[in-house]
Chains A and B, each alone.
Chain A
Amino acid sequence: MAEYWGVTVDDIFDTMQERFRPEGAAGVDAVFGYDIAGAGKWKLTVKDGAMKLEKAKDLAGCVASMVSDSETFVGVNMGKVDATSAFTGGKIKVEGDLGAFGKTGKLFRKYAPPKKEMSVKDYLADMFGTVVSRFKADATEGVDYIYGFDLGGKDGGKWTVFIKDQKCRLVTGIDCKTSVTLEFGEAKDYVDMILGKIDANSLLAAGRGAAIGDINIALKWGLYFEKYVDPMATGEPEQELLMLKKTISVNQAFVTGPIMGKFLNALKEKKIITNRCPKCGRMHFPAREVCAECRVRAEEWVEVGPKGQVRYMEYVYYSFPDPLTGESRETPYGMIMVLLDGCKGNDIFMHLIRSDQIDRIQGGRNEKSGTRVRPVWNEHRVGSIFDIKYFEIDE
């Protein structure tokens, strides 16, 4: 099976059980599918805080399935590929209920590849194997240097790095005169120096390493190449970077003023009232002091609705976190723009539609009426927009 970053798709699935977090599965009762091109299909059953994973021929019966190629799947699990970009760019697709699939994010601890030991030989292969890819061409305008590396010991070897015309070339062996050659009796010392385990000055002072030729050129290496990154490192940043987490919770209280107060108070009586502009006849929702178009006071109060017709509905699939509660809203849901009876033009009233009715809503246009709806009132009313629970189809 193909490896990506040293990890196979099977590695990810084989460790799912041990990475499973029962606390993240509370309240989840669903079967999820994974269709990983080039690797196979899996069904993940989550119920009562436990999980079962099985290979599958097809993913029938899954509430939602992730479809991806092997490299992207491994990359996302390893943190090498940005999941949002992969999803947005279509490299990962979710078939079925996207909102439900989002719950899988909390089910598992992050995958961590098993630690493998790297030998001095492995490190040298990796360090010189990445020299060309770490080369910073932009920083080498006018630079014409040849670096030699002569590393002794049983794992050692010789390499030459040419920098000329803003290009970098690596060859094994040293077959020409170099600008500077770094010589180390033991290749391990060189590896430890690059990994930051031993200080270069100590090695030079102890005679375990030497720069033969122009030492100033040796010191410029860091300008021309990105720093070598240890593939075995834990990913801890070298700089002292922290992310400080904060949660703000603030109690707020807003006064309504007399106009909004009158409007909201009427909701307690199951009445929808508003004020009409004496000039253009427009009615505001909610009621407002003046007509913003005509800039005149609107003092005539009228009762409208409570039934009306839908002119437009926002069919919301995206699971918004509700900032007022912190909970994700159940999706899909519909936010409707209702033209209440007695209103005209753009005098629309915004609210929610009963969630099991969203697929039956038609918007109106010009003379053509949209779906007729009526408000469903709460028993206990306090003078708030949610004294109306939602609207439902008037049938």
Chain B
Amino acid sequence: MAHGKKNRNVGIIGIGQTKHSSHREDVNQPEMMHEAIAAALKDAGLTMKDIDCIVHGNMELFEMIHQPDLWHTLGTGAGGKDCFRITTGGTVGITIGCAADNLVASGMYDIVMAIGFEKLQEGHTTGGITNMADPLWFRNLQTGALTGSKAYDLIYEFGEERAKKVSMTYRIIMDKHAALNSNAHRSFGLDFAQADDLIKNSPKLVGDLKLIEMCSQSDGACAVIFACEKKAKELSKKPVWVRDHITVHREEVFNIFGYDDKYPARQTQRFAAENLYARNGIKKPLEYFDVFEMYDPASWWGVDWLRDFFLLKGDEAVKLVEDREIMIGGKMPVNPSGGVIASNPIGATALLRVAEAALQVRGDAGAHQIPKPVNHALASGFGGTMWTVLMMLEKELNWQEA
């Protein structure tokens, strides 16, 4: 894959987010976005005057507001500034992060703010997703964002008892992490002792995907400010450096369900990870990274994608979860924030992965800060028909070109 070297380094110097909630009837869309933007500016010690350009993103079909950046100009502070609107589905949050990084790295702007949001209560999520499907064919058939296929796969591979248990263990770990994050939408106070009861009693959505295992639908916003190396060093005591990012798409048909080993279907998660690590000279990602903020739409995917993102084999990823090594304090803490299962304002969700990973690098995550130094962090986004984005963050500007 052709990939150019960055023209100049880019650091994250401001991070802001709202409290994520099932309902924000107290504010309209621009007001809610402004909460995240005001927090990011305060975090960076800047004002809107310092921002050269804004990248605005969400999934407009969810609220059915086309070109929402027009309505949101007052809330985003984009008046009189360059503003780009991007929408790429579930990945949009991290895509606006990648775009902001590219805009600064190119030299066109010194300081760019990415703002992602969603108010899922104001529209119709399944309706929105249905309207993204090929209208000639698949729109009539598809079932929103729910699939039981990953549960089916893991049960086949690891047996029913072990697979169901590991998925629920992952889910409970996310709940425990969310309890430490005051911005998280939901935490039920689940305990490991409840696993068997939840496996038995949580209602099924599709196949063996249960309600408790699926991500939430949230209202919320996240803003992240990116600056060139010179400005980042001048303005911030603790800039977090964007080392690299990769985006992998695939065609929109779901031709991945043949279940024939002779015809493997391309997994964008593993494909993205392999290419990103190869060009950065990372041989053992599980040892290299200190924390991972993953876009995990459901606990089944969370478990399985650990294998892809860390290039693991067999049941290595399953064991990581079973041994609770993905908890805060474990070998590879995953989603100290509680992840997507806890909070999912979709257009902000993937940017929150970047924001939370950067907070970990800075040591500013508060109650959900992991207890060891964080020098290298990984964030992922997921959406579309199995699209993947990965971003690598660094504490120091000392990495070697591969």
Decide whether A and B are members of one complex: yes
Q: Provided the pairs A312-B152, A320-B143, A324-B130 are in contact, do residues A346 and B136 lie with their beta carbons within 8 angstroms?
A: no
Chain A, 69-83, CB within 8 A of any chain B CB: 82
In the complex, what residue of chain A is closest to B131 when comparing beta carbons? A323
Leading 3 A-B pairs by shortest Cβ distance: A345-B263, A346-B258, A323-B127
B149 and A314 contacting across the interface, CB-CB below 8 Å: yes
User: B281 an interface residue at 8 Å Cβ cutoff?
Assistant: no
B141 and A241 contacting across the interface, CB-CB below 8 Å: no
Residues of B within 8 A of A317 (CB): 203-206
Q: Which of A116-124, A198-206, A220-228, A363-371 makes up part of the contact surface?
A: A363-371
B261 and A89 contacting across the interface, CB-CB below 8 Å: no
User: B82 an interface residue at 8 Å Cβ cutoff?
Assistant: no
B143 and A241 contacting across the interface, CB-CB below 8 Å: no
In the complex, what residue of chain B is closest to A91 when comparing beta carbons? B188
Chain A, 82-130, CB within 8 A of any chain B CB: 82, 84-85, 87-90, 93-94, 98
Chain A contacts to B: CB under 8 angstroms? 82, 84-85, 87-90, 93-94, 98, 239, 241, 243, 248, 252, 254, 256, 260, 264, 282, 284-286, 288, 292-293, 311-312, 314-318, 320-321, 323-324, 335, 337, 339, 344-348, 350-352, 363-366, 384-386
Chain B contacts to A: CB under 8 angstroms? 22, 25-26, 64, 124, 126-127, 130-131, 134-141, 143-144, 146-149, 152, 156, 186, 188-190, 194, 197-198, 201-207, 211-212, 250-251, 253-263, 265-266
Q: How far is the CB of B180 from chain A (nearest CB, A)?
A: 17
Q: How far is the CB of A10 from chain B (nearest CB, A)?
A: 26
Q: DSSP class of B's interface residues: helix, strand, loop or mixed?
A: loop
| Interface CB pairs A-B, < 8 A, 28 | A82-B22, A84-B22, A85-B188, A88-B202, A90-B194, A90-B202, A93-B201, A241-B25, A260-B136, A282-B255, A286-B136, A311-B258, A315-B148, A316-B205, A317-B204, A318-B204, A318-B205, A321-B127, A337-B257, A345-B260, A345-B263, A346-B263, A347-B258, A350-B141, A363-B152, A365-B259, A385-B137, A386-B140
A311 and B259 contacting across the interface, CB-CB below 8 Å: yes
In the complex, what residue of chain B is closest to A95 when comparing beta carbons? B201
A366 and B260 contacting across the interface, CB-CB below 8 Å: yes
Residues of A within 8 A of B202 (CB): 88, 90
Q: Provided the pairs A264-B136, A346-B263 are in contact, do residues A89 and B190 lie with their beta carbons within 8 angstroms?
A: yes
CA distance A345 to B258 in the complex (A): 5
CA distance A252 to B131 in the complex (A): 11
CA distance A94 to B253 in the complex (A): 35
**Of A256, A346, A364, the contact of B255 (CB 8 Å cutoff):** A346
For A84, A85, A90, A385, which residue has the most chain B Cβ atoms within 10 angstroms?
A: A90
B259 and A364 contacting across the interface, CB-CB below 8 Å: yes
Residues of B within 8 A of A318 (CB): 146, 204-206
Excluding A292-B253, A311-B257, A311-B258, 14 further A-B contacts by CB distance (< 8 Å) are A89-B188, A90-B188, A90-B198, A98-B203, A292-B251, A312-B152, A314-B143, A315-B148, A316-B205, A344-B258, A346-B256, A347-B258, A350-B141, A384-B140
Residues of B within 8 A of A288 (CB): 253
Residues of B within 8 A of A292 (CB): 250-251, 253
CA distance A328 to B185 in the complex (A): 27
**Of A82, A254, A347, A352, the contact of B141 (CB 8 Å cutoff):** A352
Q: Provided the pairs A314-B148, A344-B260 are in contact, do residues A324 and B143 lie with their beta carbons within 8 angstroms?
A: no
